[in-house]
């Protein structure tokens, strides 16, 4: 006798050879009839419901009493009632109408899991069941078929993998069906290997808290990528020392930033100022004419209307506060750029909810307004855009330091004159020739990306967050170097998203900006933005010095090549 393994706590045996073949054919035919009947009543329900809605809508328009019905409407009403009764009975009372429910034949759930078994066999019938805590060989009489979730909970991992590969169990539903996020990731990991035929060896599964990302950070995980985290510092900024965590796979980056931090430290430190703090979202709406779109533009930009708009916007959050609305017109399409404070959160969801409130509010006075999208790219999120470079987005920060002449010579191995000339020709003139948009710097994106990965920020927002112009000029009669970085759109938060993960939370704690500020809402996120700018300042100073001194290639060859003998690195 062939044996097929059933999911969970049931053993399913093949039907003996003396069972008439008619039983199988009859079962198949009954399923076909059931499916056709269900399809017919489903079609009847939706079609007559749609027909009646159209008829009642027409009566409302023509002021015809609803209780005046035609023969066709009477037929439709009776058909609707009949289909509702059938569907309610069929789906609401445990498949009572199934012709073979009492005969213990294979049900739809059993058919779904029958594809899991690798062995081939005949028609399946229930023989025995086992406790989930016992091996499959331990029999026990089954009183009733367990629900779907317990079936999956007790299945062996290999069987669940087969079900995912065959499509019987959707990969995205593993966490909810299994109730174990780590096990779901491990099963999905193996299923992906089976489906693609590619090895995932080297992509670890164990050692990560998958519960912490469920529903907020990453869908359908199959493991996690290991990115080493190093530290640069101490960075002396506004009188405080920070040890800056940086997650990167690029050699020389942290070492270079660390050298910049040293130069800043021995020169007395750097200072930073947050010039503006406001996240943006810009929906796009359409009217029948440009004139009508301009009327809404004038309405939104009228100071007399701001209070009512702000009141509507601010209802979405305790921390979201509308600051301004800037509009742009393109024919009959209107783009409205809302800017609001968001506390210690980066704030994209917060501002989006507030914008939706305002759009609903405007619909009463502008019923002809057609909302095309909650985001019309005038925001502009995760794209290099002049509006962010000019207007700012998130935190606009400027950070500066004066590096003493002896520090430039001894620590940075170059001169003030060489740095000033290189900055003018490279960061300013060279970037202008390239047509750069916010890219008037040496490598701000390097530092921003590394800190973002370490602290749980959205890495894609590195695009606009790396907008930076680096300025250098001689001061104190040309002896010392004044260096500054101006970054108009640093988008960071210390709550929400990836900041809640254990590793990223630890890095935020290292900087002293973990979570929301209890004293001053938004203080932690603004402080993090200044740390990012200060770190960029250190990175710019060190890299520009390496280029000016002709050390760039030599340093990368030294630190960017794998050397198994650690003793050789010091030489």
Rounded CA-CA distance 242/235 in Å is 5
Rounded CA-CA distance 194/114 in Å is 19
Tokens matching residue 127: 């023989």
**So what's the pLDDT on residue 485?**
98
pLDDT digits (tens, 9 = 90+) for 482-498: 999 999 999 999 999 99
Long-range pairs for 357-360: beta carbons < 8 A, 24 or more residues apart? 357/312, 357/313, 357/315, 357/316, 358/309, 358/312, 358/313, 359/283, 359/285
Mean pLDDT of 401-419: 97
- Look-up: residue for tokens 């340093």? 555
What is residue 460's three-state secondary structure? helix
The tally of CA atoms less than 13 A away on the side-chain side of residue 288 is 3
**So what's the pLDDT on residue 74?**
84
Rounded CA-CA distance 489/390 in Å is 9
**So what's the pLDDT on residue 557?**
61
List residues with catalytic annotation. 250, 382, 458, 556
Within 8 A by CB and 6+ apart from 71, the residues are none
pLDDT digits (tens, 9 = 90+) for 265-302: 999 999 999 999 999 999 999 999 999 999 999 999 99
Average per-residue pLDDT in the chain? 83
Judge contact between 401 and 472, C-beta under 8 A.
no
512 has pLDDT over 60: yes
Tokens matching residue 77: 């009403």
Indicate the domain borders of the chain: 44-83, 155-213, 229-277+395-560, 283-373
Q: Which of 11-25, 448-462, 540-554 has the lowest mean pLDDT?
A: 11-25
**So what's the pLDDT on residue 456?**
96
pLDDT digits (tens, 9 = 90+) for 132-178: 333 333 334 344 444 444 334 445 888 899 999 999 999 999 999 88
Q: How confident is the model at residue 11 (pLDDT cuts 50, 70, 90)?
A: very low
Mean pLDDT of 83-88: 78
Tokens matching residue 456: 């749980």
28 has pLDDT over 90: no
Rounded CA-CA distance 514/278 in Å is 20
Within 8 A by CB and 6+ apart from 233, the residues are 241, 242, 243, 244, 258, 261
Judge contact between 375 and 283, C-beta under 8 A.
yes
**So what's the pLDDT on residue 91?**
65
Q: Note the CATH number of domain 229-277+395-560.
A: 3.90.770.10
- Topology classification of domain 283-373: Alpha-Beta Plaits (3.30.70)
Mean pLDDT of 250-264: 96
Do the domains at 229-277+395-560 and 283-373 have one common CATH topology?
no
pLDDT digits (tens, 9 = 90+) for 412-464: 999 999 999 999 999 999 999 999 999 999 999 999 999 999 999 999 999 99
| Number of CB atoms found within 10 A of residue 557's CB | 11
**So what's the pLDDT on residue 45?**
81
Q: Which of 70-79, 310-319, 368-377 has the lowest mean pLDDT?
A: 70-79
Dmax over CA atoms of the chain, in Å, equals 106
Identify which of 114, 140, 117, 144 has the alpha carbon closest to the alpha carbon of residue 129. 140
Identify which of 313, 365, 379, 369 has the alpha carbon closest to the alpha carbon of residue 341. 313
């Amino acid at each position: 006798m062939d044996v097929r393994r059933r999911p969970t706590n049931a053993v399913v045996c093949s039907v003996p050879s003396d069972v008439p073949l008619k039983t199988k054919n009859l079962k198949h035919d009954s399923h076909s009839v059931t499916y056709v009947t269900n399809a017919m009543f489903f079609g009847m329900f939706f079609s007559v419901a749609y027909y009646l809605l159209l008829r009642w809508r027409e009566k409302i328009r023509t002021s015809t009493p609803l209780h005046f019905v035609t023969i066709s409407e009477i037929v439709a009403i009776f058909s609707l009632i009949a289909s509702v009764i059938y569907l309610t009975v069929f789906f609401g009372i445990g498949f009572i109408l199934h012709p073979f429910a009492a005969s213990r034949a294979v049900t739809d759930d059993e058919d779904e899991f029958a594809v899991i078994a690798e062995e081939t066999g005949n028609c399946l019938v229930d023989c025995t069941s086992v406790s989930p805590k016992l091996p499959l060989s331990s029999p026990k009489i089954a009183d009733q078929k367990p629900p779907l979730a317990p079936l999956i909970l007790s299945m062996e991992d290999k069987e669940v993998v087969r079900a995912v590969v065959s499509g019987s169990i959707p990969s995205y539903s593993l966490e909810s069906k299994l109730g174990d996020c780590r096990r779901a990731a491990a099963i999905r990991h193996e299923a992906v290997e089976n489906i693609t035929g590619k090895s995932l060896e080297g992509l670890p599964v164990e050692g990560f808290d998958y519960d912490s990302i469920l529903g907020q950070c990453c869908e359908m995980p199959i493991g996690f990528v290991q990115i080493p985290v190093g530290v640069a510092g101490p960075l002396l900024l506004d009188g405080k020392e920070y040890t800056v965590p940086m997650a990167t796979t690029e050699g020389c980056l942290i070492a270079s930033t660390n050298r910049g931090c040293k130069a800043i430290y021995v020169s007395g430190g750097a200072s930073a100022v947050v010039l503006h703090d406001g996240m943006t979202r810009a929906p796009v709406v359409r009217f029948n004419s440009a004139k009508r779109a301009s009327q809404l533009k004038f309405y939104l930009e009228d100071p007399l209307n701001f209070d009512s708009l702000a009141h509507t916007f601010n209802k979405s959050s305790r921390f979201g506060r509308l600051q301004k609305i800037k509009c742009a017109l393109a024919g009959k399409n209107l783009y409205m750029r809302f800017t609001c404070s968001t506390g210690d959160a980066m704030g994209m969801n917060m501002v989006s909810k507030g914008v939706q409130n305002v759009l609903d509010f405007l619909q009463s006075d502008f019923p002809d307004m057609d909302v095309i999208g909650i985001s019309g790219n005038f925001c502009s999120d995760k794209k290099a855009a002049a509006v962010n470079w000019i207007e700012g987005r998130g935190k606009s920060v400027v950070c500066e330091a004066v590096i003493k002449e002896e520090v430039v010579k001894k620590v940075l191995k170059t001169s003030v004159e060489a740095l000033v000339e290189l900055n003018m020709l490279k960061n300013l003139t060279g970037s202008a020739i390239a047509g750069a948009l916010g890219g008037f710097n040496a490598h701000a994106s390097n530092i921003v990306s590394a800190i973002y990965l370490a602290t749980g920020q959205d890495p894609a927002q590195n695009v606009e967050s790396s907008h930076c112009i680096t300025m250098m000029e001689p001061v104190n009669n040309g002896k010392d170097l004044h260096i500054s970085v101006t970054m108009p759109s640093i988008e960071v938060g210390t709550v929400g998203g990836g900041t809640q993960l254990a590793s990223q939370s630890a890095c935020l704690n290292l900087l002293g900006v973990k979570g929301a500020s209890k004293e001053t809402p938004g203080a932690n996120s603004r402080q993090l933005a200044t740390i990012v700018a200060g770190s960029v300042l250190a990175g710019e100073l060190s890299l520009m010095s390496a280029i000016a001194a002709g050390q760039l290639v030599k340093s990368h060859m030294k630190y960017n090549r794998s050397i198994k003998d650690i003793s050789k690195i010091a030489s």
